[in-house]
Structure 1
Amino acid sequence: MSGVDLDEDDPFEEQREQVENPMRRLFRVYGGDYKFSATVGVVGSLFARLLDLVPPILLGFALDAIFEQNKEFSSIWFVPDSVIPADQQGQLLLTVALIAGAFFTAAGFHWVRNWGFNDFAQNIQHDVRTDTYDKMQRLNMDFFADKQTGEMMSILSNDVNRLERFLNDGMNSMFRLLVMVVGIAGVLFIYNWQLALVALLPVPLIGLFTYKFIQIIQPKYKEVRSTVGKVNSRLENNLGGITVIKSSNTEPYESDRVEDVSQDYFDANWDAIGTRIKFFPGLRILAGIGFVATFLVGGLWVLAGEGGEAPWIFTIPLSAGEFVTFILLTQRFIWPMAQFGQIINMYQRARASSARIFGLMDEPARIEEDPGAEELVVEDGCVEYDDVTFGYEDGETIIEDVSFDVEGGETLALVGPTGAGKSTILKLLMRLYDVDEGEVRIDGTNVRDVTLPSLRRQIGYVSQDTFLFYGTVEENIRYGAFDADREDVIEAARAAEAHEFVQNLPDGYDTEVGERGVKLSGGQRQRISIARAVLRDPEILVLDEATSDVDTETEMLIQRSLDKLTEDRTTFSIAHRLSTIKDADEIVVLEGGRIEERGRHEELIDNDGLYAHLWGVQAGEIDELPDEFVERAARRQARTEADGDD
Structure 2
Amino acid sequence: MSGDDFSPLAAPVRDLFARYALPELPLFVLGVVTSIVGRAVSLVPPLVLGVAIDALFTPSRDVAYRLPLVPAAWIPGDPRTQLWLSVALILGSLVVGGALTWTQGVSLSLFSNRIQHAVRVDAYRAMQELDMAFFDDKQTGQVMAILNDDVRNLRMFLGSTVSGALQLLATVLGIAALLFYLNAQLAAVTLLGVPVLAVFTVWFMRTIRPRYRALRASIGDLNTRIENNLSGMEVIKTSNAERYENERVGAASWENYLTTWSVAKLEYLYQPSMDLLAGLSFAATFALGGYWLVVGPPPGFSGELLVGEFVTFLFMTQRFVEPLSGAGRIVNSYENARASGERIVDLVERPVSVRDRADAVRPERVEGRVEYDDVHFAYLPGRPVVEGLSFAGEPGETIAFVGPTGAGKSTAAKLLLRLYDVDGGAIRIDGIDVRDLALDALRSNVGYVSQDVFLFDGTVRENIAYGAFEADDEAVVAAARAAEAHDFVRNLPDGYDTRVGERGVKLSGGQRQRISIARAVLQDPAVLVLDEATSAVDTETEVLIQRALDRLTADRTTLVIAHRLSTIRDAEGIVVLEEGRVVERGTHDDLLAAGGLYSTLWSVQAGERATDAVLDRLLRADGSEE
Aligned match of 1:188: 179
The answer on 1:288 being equivalent to 2:279 is yes
Bigger shift: residues 465-474 or 116-125: 116-125
CA distance in 2, matches of 1:403, 1:498: 36
Bigger shift: residues 631-640 or 213-222: 631-640
Find the residue that maps to 2:380 and give its secondary structure.
Answer: coil
How many angstroms does 1:232 deviate by? 1.1
TM-score normalised per structure 2: 0.97
- Structure 2 unmatched ranges of 5 or more: none
For residues 373-420 of structure 1, give each alpha carbon's deviation from its aligned partner in whole angstroms, at most 9, with x where no partner exists: 121344431111111111113331111111101011211111111111
The answer on 1:41 being equivalent to 2:26 is no
The answer on 1:167 being equivalent to 2:154 is no
Amino acid at match of 1:53: L
The answer on 1:125 being equivalent to 2:116 is yes
Aligned match for 1:444, one of 431, 434, 448? 431
TM-score normalised per structure 1: 0.94
Amino acid at match of 1:194: Q
How many angstroms does 1:86 deviate by? 4.5
CA distance in 2, matches of 1:615, 1:73: 110
Aligned match for 2:413, one of 426, 432, 439? 426
Aligned match of 1:629: 614
For 1:582-593, list aligned pairs within 5 A: 582-593=569-580
Amino acid at match of 1:95: S
For residues 216-257 of structure 1, give each alpha carbon's deviation from its aligned partner in whole angstroms, at most 9, with x where no partner exists: 211211111121111111111111111111001010111011
Bigger shift: residues 117-126 or 85-94: 85-94
Amino acid at match of 2:173: V
Aligned match for 1:30, one of 20, 32, 49? 20
1:334–1:640 Cα change, 3 Å: farther
Aligned match of 2:51: 61
Q: Are the equivalent residues in 1 in contact too, given 2:447–2:525 (CA < 8 A)?
A: yes
The answer on 1:244 being equivalent to 2:229 is no
Find the residue that maps to 2:363 and give its secondary structure.
Answer: coil
The answer on 1:411 being equivalent to 2:402 is no
How many angstroms does 1:639 deviate by? 5.8
Q: Are the equivalent residues in 1 in contact too, given 2:32–2:166 (CA < 8 A)?
A: yes
The answer on 1:331 being equivalent to 2:321 is no
Amino acid at match of 1:299: G
Amino acid at match of 1:637: D
Aligned match of 1:136: 127
1:15–1:83 Cα change, 3 Å: closer
The answer on 1:265 being equivalent to 2:256 is yes
For residues 243-273 of structure 1, give each alpha carbon's deviation from its aligned partner in whole angstroms, at most 9, with x where no partner exists: 1110010101110111111111111111111
1:296–1:101 Cα change, 3 Å: same
Find the residue that maps to 1:589 and give its secondary structure.
Answer: strand
How many angstroms does 1:89 deviate by? 3.4
CA distance in 1, matches of 2:64, 2:483: 90
The answer on 1:597 being equivalent to 2:588 is no
How many angstroms does 1:312 deviate by? 2.8
CA distance in 2, matches of 1:315, 1:420: 93
Amino acid at match of 1:616: S
CA distance in 2, matches of 1:327, 1:428: 74
How many angstroms does 1:172 deviate by? 2.1
Bigger shift: residues 443-452 or 591-600: 591-600
CA distance in 2, matches of 1:605, 1:71: 119
Percent identity reads 51
How many angstroms does 1:12 deviate by? 5.0
Amino acid at match of 1:628: A
How many angstroms does 1:428 deviate by? 0.9
How many angstroms does 1:85 deviate by? 4.8
The answer on 1:148 being equivalent to 2:148 is no
Aligned match of 2:383: 396
Q: Are the equivalent residues in 2 in contact too, given 1:117–1:171 (CA < 8 A)?
A: no
CA distance in 1, matches of 2:484, 2:336: 54
Aligned match of 1:208: 199
Aligned match for 1:532, one of 508, 515, 519? 519
CA distance in 1, matches of 2:227, 2:62: 71
The answer on 1:486 being equivalent to 2:473 is yes
Q: Are the equivalent residues in 2 in contact too, given 1:493–1:499 (CA < 8 A)?
A: yes
Aligned match of 1:3: none
The answer on 1:374 being equivalent to 2:361 is yes
For 1:469-484, list aligned pairs within 5 A: 469-484=456-471
Please report the RMSD computed on the Cα atoms of aligned residues, expressed in angstroms.
1.8
For residues 494-514 of structure 1, give each alpha carbon's deviation from its aligned partner in whole angstroms, at most 9, with x where no partner exists: 111111111111111111111
Q: Are the equivalent residues in 2 in contact too, given 1:378–1:442 (CA < 8 A)?
A: no
Amino acid at match of 2:622: Q
Find the residue that maps to 2:326 and give its secondary structure.
Answer: helix
1:73–1:522 Cα change, 3 Å: farther
The answer on 1:387 being equivalent to 2:374 is yes
The answer on 1:608 being equivalent to 2:595 is yes
Bigger shift: residues 421-430 or 64-73: 64-73
Q: Are the equivalent residues in 2 in contact too, given 1:12–1:360 (CA < 8 A)?
A: no
1:640–1:107 Cα change, 3 Å: farther
For residues 289-323 of structure 1, give each alpha carbon's deviation from its aligned partner in whole angstroms, at most 9, with x where no partner exists: 11101111111112234xxxx45322232110010
Find the residue that maps to 1:392 and give its secondary structure.
Answer: strand
Bigger shift: residues 87-96 or 404-413: 87-96
CA distance in 2, matches of 1:225, 1:521: 39
CA distance in 1, matches of 2:309, 2:381: 74
Aligned match of 1:304: 295
Amino acid at match of 1:36: P
CA distance in 1, matches of 2:357, 2:364: 17
Amino acid at match of 1:630: L
Amino acid at match of 2:139: Q
1:580–1:85 Cα change, 3 Å: same
Amino acid at match of 1:539: A
Amino acid at match of 2:240: N
CA distance in 1, matches of 2:196, 2:503: 57
CA distance in 2, matches of 1:628, 1:25: 64
The answer on 1:520 being equivalent to 2:511 is no
The answer on 1:353 being equivalent to 2:344 is no
How many angstroms does 1:361 deviate by? 2.3
Find the residue that maps to 1:638 and give its secondary structure.
Answer: coil
Amino acid at match of 1:552: T
Aligned match of 1:50: 40
For residues 189-228 of structure 1, give each alpha carbon's deviation from its aligned partner in whole angstroms, at most 9, with x where no partner exists: 1111111111111111111111111122112111111211
CA distance in 2, matches of 1:640, 1:342: 60
How many angstroms does 1:368 deviate by? 2.7
Amino acid at match of 2:32: V
Q: Are the equivalent residues in 2 in contact too, given 1:376–1:455 (CA < 8 A)?
A: no
Q: Are the equivalent residues in 1 in contact too, given 2:402–2:575 (CA < 8 A)?
A: yes
Find the residue that maps to 2:192 and give its secondary structure.
Answer: coil
The answer on 1:21 being equivalent to 2:8 is no
CA distance in 2, matches of 1:604, 1:408: 23
Aligned match for 2:80, one of 70, 77, 89? 89
CA distance in 1, matches of 2:438, 2:489: 36
Find the residue that maps to 1:519 and give its secondary structure.
Answer: coil
Aligned match of 1:457: 444
Find the residue that maps to 2:34 and give its secondary structure.
Answer: helix
CA distance in 1, matches of 2:138, 2:62: 73
CA distance in 1, matches of 2:298, 2:441: 86
CA distance in 1, matches of 2:215, 2:390: 50
How many angstroms does 1:66 deviate by? 1.1
CA distance in 2, matches of 1:239, 1:512: 20
